[in-house]
Amino acid sequence: MAPSPAKNKSRMSRNTAEIAREICAAIKDVYYDSSKDSFKKRTTDLLNLYKQIVKERDVIINKDEYMSELGYRVDVFLDGAKCHEGQLRVFKLYALLAVKCLKDFDDSSILETVMLSIHKKKYNISAFIRNSVVALIGRLLYCAVLEPKKGDNKETFYATVLPERTFIDLYTILWHLSADTDEDIRVGVLIAIARVQSYPGLMKLVNTDIMETTKQLFVLGTRDLSEKVRCQAVKGITVETAGESRLLLERLIHDPCEEVRLEIAKKLSTDVPITFFSKAERQSLIRARDLFLADTIIPEYYEILYSWACDLYCERQGYEFDVQLTQSQILSGVYDLLDSFRITKELGQIFQRFFDHLRTKFFEDIADDEKSFVLFAQLFEYKDSPYLNAENYEDVAAVDDVSTGLNALNDKMKALFMWQYLTEYSCHLRLSEATRDECRKILLPTMSEFSKFIPEIWTTLKAGGEKESERRVYEYQNNCAKSLINMFHSIDTEELGMIKWKETLSDLLVDYSFKYDSDLVSLIVHDYFYYHYDIKHDPDNALHELSDLMTKIGDVGAKFNNTQDMYVETTQMDFTQLMNASQSNEASPSPMENMEPQKRKRCVQVLAGVFKNGFFLQHHPVLEGLLTDYAIATFDNPIDHDSRREAFICIAGMAPLLDQNNANFVKYARTILEDQRSQIVELQKIALLLIHDSIGIYGYAKVNEWYFAEVENATTSSNKLVKKLIDLCETPDTAFSSFVIRILLRFILFDHQRTFHDAFVYLLLKLFNPGEEKQLKILLVYFFTQFCHYSREHQCIMAAAFVDAMMKLADIDLDSPFINVDRDEMITFVLQITSFNVLNAKALDREHGTAHLYLAARLLTKLEKVLDNKNYAVFFGGMLNKCEVSEVFEEKLFETVKRGCERLHPMTPDARVKKFIETFHKRLESAEKHSKSKKAIARPEIIPKSRQELEKEMEEIVYFLKSNTEETNINKRTWLTEEIPKEEGIFSKMRIFGEVHITIDDIRAKLIEKDSPLFQSRSENPTERPPRPTTTPRKREREVVATPSTPKNRSRNNLPPPSTRTLRRKPLKERLNTVAEEEDFAD
């Protein structure tokens, strides 16, 4: 650092020394004293000193000394001062001094001195110095702002006292540094231009063909790679248009960093009115489960809904958006907020959490007391309240000219849903019974009164849909009906009320006022049987009631179904009489024959509801009879797609309860999978699960036979069903194809007979096929690595599949989807994943050595067939050259591999392949020699276990699993989530010749990292760029942000606790450009 110019002057120049001392004293006070008085006083002192210098006779000398000393001090603080708040105050001092002289004296000397230091340091190699330059420029721009006067056009007003050339120079420097590789510098640039963005007239001077405007820099900052930069961009951007608000909304939904999302939430709830968002955009926000359905209630996100509710009320009343509202006015806005969202299953959970947020805001002092729940329920009884309660609930059932039509039906739906959400929240099971009783008195009628009310509102729902669009009416009516049924769960039970409730539910299933969807029928069936019958201990009574109920629905008279008739007669006749009766009397015709289509469909819906709710988990002849009479008959002769769907759900639900040796249900799954007229993904998934479970119970051979039993000209190929499943993987629907692949992976995991070998080969090729989905490849990487990690046998299965995959590629057609498979990457992967070091320390058969010997045997077998194909001969030979050999091996396999090398060596025409075989043969000889030495470890003795020993081991495993379930474990921790102790060491060190040094984590990291060869066609490899002083357009790094993971689904009554903090923030650090801007700059 150069010495101060003042110290080089003669001691006779007293004025020069005084200037230096006063400047140093002023800067020192500002640097160490954070008080406003000190800052203002010292700014005034330096300004007065400059005035005195200008008035003295030796003007030129003293002024030059002043500028020289000031310029030196500017350089000092740009170069070497500590990076904290004191440095920022000194920069403000320089900026304010320069602007004051420019405004008061029209003197730009100090500004020119500061600009000279900025130009010297702006592209310094040190990121710290560049950061200091940005901070100084930011304070210059801030101090130099001019507010437009009345009558000035803000769009064209030049809102700064800086000369145009100076402003362009400063902005150009900031523009270049906005793409700096250091994130702190990019943050500093956004802080520096924060105030300038409010004056669009300044951007008229900027060449927008080359440089971005301030607003564009903030928009780019919201997609920066750095979380700090994105946070600052969100904090500093001024939202003035709907497009900018949509940008923030998109970033809120997709940004992976919680700090950034919290900043966006704060911005949206304070600065952006709801009118900037369309209804579709509001719905997209509410669908973000990780924001509104996280493990805790995060107040920042629900504050957005709070601000929207206030905005809606203000908009309806014509108020300003920032007006102070009362609690009743806010609740009125909350009611209007429901119009912004589409009714979904998750919306109820979100509104319950929103009510909890409102209760905490309204009763902050007693939020932890259950009394606040009662007070909160009372708030909804204000004058002209649209919310339903125990006093006014009957108003919603009124029928008149105004209450008919789709709009009126929508209003009823809003009222009922708000009533349900509020009731479920205020009468939540985690509250005490006393609190719930108090809330029920405010919000709910008695069960008897509500049961009487249901038929009235049912009639109103029918009237509300007359002469309207079928689809909208159907949706609204069913939503209202579900809400009404769910209300029963919160009402206090009473004996008379339960009787009336049961009668009401039975009547609703017979009622045809409007078209029911399957979910509504399932809900009614659930409440009918769950609350009124002891299904677990008395299934006979429930099943007979079910049969009677379906007879009542079909209106076919009091007649049993075939199996129920026989089942009842067995209670009155002995076995001989029963057999005689069954031989002499033919089975009665099915009740479905003379039933109207509408009633027939309702019966199948009811039966499907029984299976969906999982009431009956054991075979029962009455249930089998109902399935035959209703479900199977409807599946064979469907009324429409919906009825066939419900019938197949019944069949799939009954399949695990029956012996399919006598009743083939797999054929129905085949019908669903191969019916090209109605490809319903939900049914196809159910069909696949039915096949999966059947294979697990009866074995693959039988299921394969049953699947093609009734197909004309069907062959009896053992792998035909596997090929069918592989074909399903190629469907255009990626979600369904991924589901099929997961089913195949389940089969492969327990496939000890190698039945699904072709599927294994197919999935291995799919992993290294460039055109496949990224998420699918990640799934396969994790599966294959884990599959080979725990068993040497699995490594051998992988080796066999790989060799067959390579042979398939050798004869592949040009139109095959696997024509571009990356062979090199697949070879590297298989060599690594089948190596000895990848095995878990307690992996099965680990003591038998490396699986590469088995891989070598397979390679030698196929190498003879591809000797004429030079490329594949080199592929196989190169792999053989890299195969490792352990000192422990299977002697028979070892001898086979050794003889294979000796036989193939003279047959090989390629010199490289010969060299590969020679290298591997030497490795075999070394291993054989070592195994006969005294240093070799003892080989394990293979003793087959008896059936009794295997059964005992299995019983111990099952007992261990049962004793660690959530229901029996005293710590309430499931065995799947318990922490597994870290594996330590290997039982005995085994000598490996040609050892592959790699771990399972290394393999995964290589294949899943950003620049993985698996994803080369989709990823970019960004390079770092140093700051450049040119004005050419820069290429910016654009962030590809992953969508946050979706949290686990929560039950309806599982309301999470609120977050215990008000705002998540990192501790304030004393670093440049992270300290908040002071608001009171001197004039």
Stretch among 142-151, 305-314, 921-930 having the lowest mean pLDDT: 142-151
pLDDT given at position 420: 94
DSSP state letter for 933 = S
- What is the predicted pLDDT for the residue at 1014? 64
Which residues, other chains included, contact 131 with Cβ-Cβ below 8 Å and sequence gap of 6+?
83, 182, 184, 185, 188, 1072, 1073
Helix, strand or coil, per DSSP, at residue 492: coil
In contact, 1046 and 295? CB cutoff 8 Å: no
Q: Using one digit for the tens of pLDDT, what is the confidence trace for 257-273?
A: 999 999 999 999 999 99
pLDDT higher than threshold 50 for residue 1080? no
Residue tagged 């000796």 (tokens): 902
Look at residues 655, 719, 710, 661 and name the one whose alpha carbon lies nearest to residue 686.
655
pLDDT at 321 over 80: yes
**HSE, side-chain direction, 13 A CA sphere, residue 557:** 4
Rounded CA gap, 402 and 251, in Å? Answer: 43
Q: Is 203 in contact with 212 (CB distance < 8 Å)?
A: no
- Reply yes or no on whether the pLDDT at 741 is more than 90: yes
pLDDT category of residue 361 using cuts at 50, 70 and 90? very high
pLDDT for residue 597 is more than 90: no
What are φ and ψ of residue 603, in 5° steps? Answer: -60, -45
What is the arithmetic mean of pLDDT over 138-161?
Answer: 81
Alpha carbon separation from 669 to 16, 599, 686 (Å, rounded): 98, 26, 8
Residue 1021 is predicted with a pLDDT of: 40
Structure tokens at 70: 């000031």
Query: For a pLDDT cut of 90, what percent of the chain falls above it?
Result: 33
Give the residue, 121 or 376, on which the prediction is more confident. 376
Q: Which residues are paired to 701 by β-bridges?
A: none
Pairwise pLDDT comparison (41 vs 316), residue with the higher score? 316
At 35, list the tokens: 């008080």
CA 697, chain centre distance (Å): 35
Distance between CA atoms of 383 and 331, rounded to whole angstroms? 12
Are the C-beta atoms of 685 and 694 separated by less than 8 Å?
no
Q: What percent of the chain has pLDDT over 70?
A: 76
Q: Which residues have CB under 8 Å from 914's CB, separation 6+?
A: 905, 908
Does residue 36 register a pLDDT over 80?
Answer: no
Average pLDDT of the chain, as a whole number? 80
Between 590 and 90, the more confident residue is 90
DSSP-derived secondary structure letter, 1039: -
User: Has residue 928 got a pLDDT over 60?
Assistant: yes
Interior angle at CA 455, CA 453 and CA 457, nearest 5: 70
Query: What are the C-alpha distances in Å from 84 to residues 36, 89, 135, 1075?
Result: 17, 9, 11, 8
pLDDT of residue 995: 86
Distance between CA 832 and CA 851 in Å, rounded? 11
| Residue scoring higher pLDDT (122 or 557) | 122
pLDDT attached to residue 577:
52
Mean pLDDT, range 456-469, rounded to an integer: 75
Q: Does residue 1038 register a pLDDT over 60? A: no
Give the span between the Cα atoms of 306 and 313, in whole angstroms. Answer: 11
Q: Residue 277's pLDDT band (boundaries 50, 70, 90)?
A: very high
Q: pLDDT class for 214, splitting at 50, 70, 90?
A: confident
Q: Which residue has the higher pLDDT, 224 or 471?
A: 224
Which residue type sits at 916? F
The percent helix, strand, coil of the chain (3-state, each to 5) is 65, 0, 35
What CA–CA distances, in Å, run from 50 to 20, 42, 67, 117, 311? Answer: 12, 12, 10, 19, 53
Rounded CA-CA distance 434/370 in Å is 10
> Per mean pLDDT, which range of 320-329, 668-677, 907-916, 953-962 is the poorest?
953-962
**Nearest-5° angle of CA 621, CA 624, CA 628?**
140
CB-based contact 660:666 (threshold 8 Å): yes
Place of tokens 């004058």: 383
pLDDT at 16: 66
As a whole number, mean pLDDT of residues 989-1001 equals 85
Would you state the pLDDT for residue 855? Answer: 92
Give the whole-angstrom CA distance, residue 814 versus residue 792: 36
Distance between CA atoms of residues 777 and 764, nearest Å: 10
Do residues 361 and 306 lie in contact, with contact meaning Cβ atoms separated by under 8 Å? Answer: yes
DSSP state of 791: B
425: exposed, middle or buried (Cβ count in 10 Å: 0-12, 13-18, 19+): buried
Q: What is the pLDDT of residue 568?
A: 47
- pLDDT at position 276 is 92
- Return the closest-CA partner of residue 122 out of 1023, 1034, 1030, 1070: 1030
Q: Is the pLDDT of residue 901 over 60?
A: yes
| CB atoms closer than 10 angstroms to residue 443 | 26
Cβ pair 763, 780 in contact under 8 A:
yes
Asked if residue 56 has pLDDT above 60, the reply is: no
Pull the structure tokens for residue 67.
């500028």
